[in-house]
Amino acid sequence: MSFICPRCKQYTLEIKKIAKAVLGPMDDEKSIQLVGCSCGFKGVAVYEESRRGAGSVFNHDGYMVPDELVDKLKEKMVGGGEVAADDFTINKITQQKFDHFSMDLAS
């Protein structure tokens, strides 16, 4: 499954690693993902799915974060540490979300 890369604009962005994120009290399912492209782009994606009501609703959002933060997340995932999505989608210095991109699938 390939997504459009925010850097090269090709459908070559892939999910490289997935970890369950630390869940809040209202979350049904949330995972944090490492994404990467053959052009060298690395980023973080968050997948959220709610199964409340008649159907399921989901959000799949990508974030352009510094490479060192992607590497830190990978270390946490490999080491089995708890992962909180906000640690990798919100800039702790400015309290603003990192630049967002849409996780659009190849048709």
CA angle in degrees (0–180, nearest 5) for 49-50-54: 130
Domain boundaries, the chain: 14-102
Digit-by-digit pLDDT tens for the chain (107 residues) are: 789 999 999 999 999 988 876 656 555 677 888 999 999 999 999 888 876 666 677 888 899 988 888 888 888 888 877 777 777 666 666 666 778 888 888 76
The H or E element spanning position 77 is helix 67-79
The structure's pTM equals: 0.79
Backbone angles phi, psi at 54, to 5 degrees: -75, -30
CA 92 to chain CA centroid, Å, is 17
| CB contact at 8 A, 63 and 77 | no
CA 22 to chain CA centroid, Å, is 13
Q: Give 102's DSSP letter.
A: E
Interatomic CA distance for residues 54 and 77, integer angstroms:
33
Interatomic CA distance for residues 37 and 27, integer angstroms:
29
Query: What pLDDT score does 102 carry?
Result: 87
SS3 68: helix
